[in-house]
Structure 1
Amino acid sequence: MKIEHLSIQGCNEWNEDALILNESQRIYGVLDGATSLASVEGEETGGYLASQTAKKVFESIDRKDGSFSLRSIVLEANQRIRTEMLERGVDADDNQAVWAAGIAVIRIGEHQIEYAQTGDCMLIAVYKDGTVRIVTHDQVDHFDEKSRLLWERYASEGLPPKEIRARVFEVIKTNRLKTNTSEGYAILNGDPALERYVEHGMINRIQLESVLLITDGLFLPRKAGDSAPTMSDMVALIDEKGLSGYAEWLIANEYDESQQGKYTRLKVADDKTAIRIHFD
C-alpha cells in the first residue's frame, strides 16, 4: 500500500481536524471537530478536544486477535469524550456546550475494508476501471445548504457581514440541538444516542484501486442553490494535482480576492484533512 495524508489548519485559531494512523491495526481515519458554541477564546475548543480524544482511542488499539468492530470503537471514543467532558465540568447534556467531532474511519483487511462514519466526513472508493463510489453519506449537508441559502439572502438584502454571520450562527445553534436524532445528524459528542446512528459496514477489495478519507474542508466550493460539484470532480482534480497539490490549489482559491463572492463561504478557509491509500 502507498499512504498519503495531510492535515492543514484553516483560518481559525485551532486545527480541529485530526488524523487517525494506527498502522499495526491497519486503521486509518479522519476526524472533523465542531467548535463548541460555548468555547472560550484562547482555550482549546471543544472540537479540538473531541477530535484529539477520539484520535487517542483509535491509535491506542493494540489487539492482535482483531476481536472488535470499528462501530464499537466509535462508541468507545464517544463515551471517552463524555467522560472527559464531565471531568472538566462541561454539561454533557447541553448540545451547544459539548465537544463534538465527525469521523470517517476504516480498517483494512485482506479481502474487505470495514468502515464507520458520522457527520460529513467522507469515504470514497476508486476502482481500476475508473469508477468512483461514494461509500458514505454527507449527513450534515441538508443543514449546511440551508445556512448557505440564508447567507445569500441576507447578503442580497444588504446586511453587513457581521450581522449576516450572527444570524446564520443562531440557525447553526438550533441545528446543534438535533444531533444524534432522526431529524439531525450523527456525531461523536458524548451522547449515548449515537449508538442508533453510526454508519457502519464493509466493502470488498475486488478491483479496488484506492480509497480516500476526507473532511469537508476539502470539498469543492459551491454557490448556495447551485448543483454541488460531484465527488468524482474532486477525485479527478486530486488525480491531476496530487493530494497536496489539490489542497494547495483549494487554499489559493479560498484566499484569492477575485474569487470572493463567487462561492458561498461560511468561513474563509476550513481545516482540511485527508488520507489516500493506493493498493498494489
Structure 2
Amino acid sequence: MNEDAVVINEAANIYGVIDGVTSLKGIMIDNITPGKRATDAVKATFEQVDKSITLNNATELANASIQTEMEAFNIAINHPKDRFQCCHAVVKLHDKMADYSSSADCVIYTITKENKVTQIVPDYSKKNESDRVKYWQEKYPGVYASNTLPEEMIEALDNAKSTANIPGGYSVMNGDVNFNQSYNRGQFELSNLSHILITTDGFFDIERLGLQKFVQKLIHDGLDAMLEYMIMKELEDIEKIHYPRVKLHDDKAAVLITL
C-alpha cells in the first residue's frame, strides 16, 4: 500500500508531495493503514482549495482534515503515536514568488537557470534515517519483517513520536493544533529559477552522486526513469544492506515543476 501521494491543484497553483507515516505495528483501519488515511485526507484538502486561500491556511486545513478523519473512526488519542500521521511539502506559485510549507523530512529544492541547486527545506539528510534503520536491523536481524517488534524498539519509537509538534521536536501533520506553530513556511523568488523539485524521503540520491549531479540527472532523465532506476536498485539490494529501509521499496513521490 503506497502511503505517498502527489498534490496537483492547477486552479490554485498548489503542487507538492505527501508521505504517510507507516505504522510499524501493522495497524489497519478498515483495511487501510493510518498513514494512507492521513495522506488521502491531506491530498483531498490541498486539491480542493481555491486560488483565494493562502498556503498557510490550506496547510492548516489539511492538518485539521486528519483530526476529522480520526473522529469519524472514533480513534482514541492517548499519545501522539495513536494519531494518523503524514508529512508534506507543497508550494503555491505566484507571478514572482512562491510560498512553501513543509513538515518532517519532505524536501523542496530550487534549481536556478545556472543549474545551482538549493535545498530549501528541511535541514535533513537521508543518511540520518538510513543510519537509524541500519542500527535496528543490525541489533535485531529481520526486525522489520517480524510480526512483533522488541519492547526496546517500541519504546524508542513512542518516545520519538512524543516530541511531535513541540519545541525541540519535529513537525508532522497529525491533526494536532500544535502543528500550526511547528511546520516550516516561507517564500522564495521565482525570477531566476528553471525548476522546483519536491520529493518525499523515498526519492533520494540513491547513487550518491551528490546533490548537484543527482538533481541534474533527474531533470535530464525525468521522474519516471529515475523512479524505475531506484526500484531496480532496491530489488538488487533485497537484503536491505546497501540502502537500509523498512520496506522492500521505500514509498516514493516527487513533483518536478518547470518554470
**TM-score normalised by structure 2 residue count:** 0.87
Are 2:137 and 2:143, in contact at CA under 8 Å, matched by a contact in 1?
no
Distance change (3 Å), C-alpha of 1:99 and 1:259: closer
- 2:121 aligned residue (136, 150, 156): 136
Q: Does 1:147 align with 2:147?
A: no
Distance change (3 Å), C-alpha of 1:258 and 1:147: closer
Query: May I ask how many residue pairs the two structures share in their alignment?
Result: 254
RMSD between superposed Cα atoms in Å: 2.6
Alignment of 1:222-233 (within 5 A): 230-233=210-213
- 1:57 aligned residue (18, 21, 45): 45
- 1:114 aligned residue (99, 107, 115): 99
Give the whole-Å Cα distance in 1 for the aligned partners of 2:195 and 2:67. Answer: 34
Are 2:20 and 2:87, in contact at CA under 8 Å, matched by a contact in 1?
yes
Give the whole-Å Cα distance in 1 for the aligned partners of 2:138 and 2:141. Answer: 12
Aligned-residue identity in percent: 26
Structure with the greater relative contact order (CA < 8 A, sep ≥ 6): 1 or 2? 1
Alignment of 1:158-177 (within 5 A): 159-162=140-143, 166-167=149-150, 169-170=153-154, 171-177=156-162
- 1:71 aligned residue (45, 49, 56): 56
Distance change (3 Å), C-alpha of 1:192 and 1:37: farther
Are 1:218 and 1:272, in contact at CA under 8 Å, matched by a contact in 2?
yes
Any unmatched runs of 5+ in structure 2? none
Matched residue SS, 2:253: strand
Paired residue type of 1:262: H
Q: Does 1:264 align with 2:244?
A: yes
Matched residue SS, 1:24: coil
Any unmatched runs of 5+ in structure 1? 1-13, 223-227
- 1:33 aligned residue (6, 20, 42): 20
**TM-score normalised by structure 1 residue count:** 0.81
Matched residue SS, 1:32: strand
- 1:241 aligned residue (221, 226, 235): 221
Quote the offset at 1:145 in angstroms: 5.2
Alignment of 1:173-192 (within 5 A): 173-192=158-177
> Which stretch shows the higher mean deviation, 74-83 or 122-131?
74-83
> Which stretch shows the higher mean deviation, 256-265 or 19-28?
256-265
CA shift digits 1:32-67 (9 cap, x unpaired): 01024562387111110111101111111124xx2x
CA shift digits 1:123-176 (9 cap, x unpaired): 10000111001111156969625523523642xxxx532389734852333312
Give the whole-Å Cα distance in 2 for the aligned partners of 1:264 and 1:36. Answer: 17
Q: Does 1:220 align with 2:205?
A: yes
Are 1:211 and 1:278, in contact at CA under 8 Å, matched by a contact in 2?
yes
